[in-house]
Amino acid sequence: MAMGRPRAFDADAALDQAMEVFWRHGYEGATIAQLTEAMGINPPSLYAAFGSKEGLLKAALDRYSAKRACWMEEILSAPTAREVAERMLMGTADTQTDPANPPGCLLVQGGLACGTGSENVPFELAARRAETENQLRDRFVRAKAEGDLKQTADPAALARYLSAVNAGMGVMASSGADREALRQVAAVSVKAFEEQSNS
């Protein structure tokens, strides 16, 4: 049977461009015109490949998550809970102020509150944030079992805390905080972990 005309653009490269537009303007602030221009394609190609604006966002988020996965692996491989926290927050300070990306975090800026009809966008972003939090919690459960965290420590609470600080840094970065300011926040945050660690 026939195979049809082949796609003339690289879907991953196009998704990277779309990701940046969503990152900079949020889901609702990003227009199809801006997206197609950044992706270098026309609307029909976008809809053929991704179905809808929301479908495009999900595809961009999948790619964002995939890119982040190896980064998280390295963080979680740190020997102690304290070091996991430090790598995580210091890494966040760097990436959220990296001029190669828009400032802040896509999972926060993308849209915390949306208009009627886009209610699942905040949901979708929250689910991705929760994924990171769960990874952290599992890591801290292990840290507690290994005696790295005190027996009184609550791994879920610590993961939530780290996740909250991470999101908070995203808010700060989105409003122009520089790398040094974010590193200060990270440094103070990590102190809360020393209280929960053995030695």
Residues that bind DNA (CB under 7 A): 1-9, 30-33, 41-49, 52-54, 115-116
- Decide whether 75 or 102 has the Cβ nearer to a second copy: 102
**Taking CB under 8 A as the criterion, which residues in 52-111 touch a second copy?**
102, 104, 108-111
Minimum gap (Å) between residue 47 Cβ and a second copy:
20
Alpha-helical (H) ranges within the chain are 11-29, 32-39, 43-50, 53-76, 81-95, 106-109, 120-145, 155-174, 179-194
- DSSP designation for 57: H
Q: Which of 57, 33, 39, 25 is nearest to 125 (CA)?
A: 57
CB atoms within 10 A of CB 101: 16
From DNA, a second copy, none, which one binds at residue 70 (CB under 5 to 8 Å depending on kind)? none
- The interface region with a second copy, picked from 4-12, 24-32, 46-54, 72-80 by CB under 8 A, is 24-32
- The interface region with a second copy, picked from 41-49, 75-83, 126-134, 143-151 by CB under 8 A, is 126-134
193 token code pair: 């972990």
List of residues 6+ apart from 167 with CB closer than 8 A = 105, 108, 129
CB atoms within 10 A of CB 178: 12
User: Phi and psi (nearest 5°) for 10?
Assistant: -85, 115
Q: Are 170 and 88 spatial neighbours (Cβ–Cβ below 8 Å)?
A: no
From a second copy, DNA, none, which one binds at residue 1 (CB under 5 to 8 Å depending on kind)? DNA
Does 18 engage in binding with a second copy (CB under 8 A)? no
**Taking CB under 8 A as the criterion, which residues in 157-186 touch a second copy?**
157-158, 160-161, 163-172, 174-177, 181, 184-185
- Decide whether 52 or 184 has the Cβ nearer to a second copy: 184
- Residues of this chain that bind a second copy (CB under 8 A): 23-26, 28-31, 34, 102, 104, 108-116, 118, 122-123, 125-126, 129-130, 154, 156-158, 160-161, 163-172, 174-177, 181, 184-185, 187-189, 191-192, 194-196
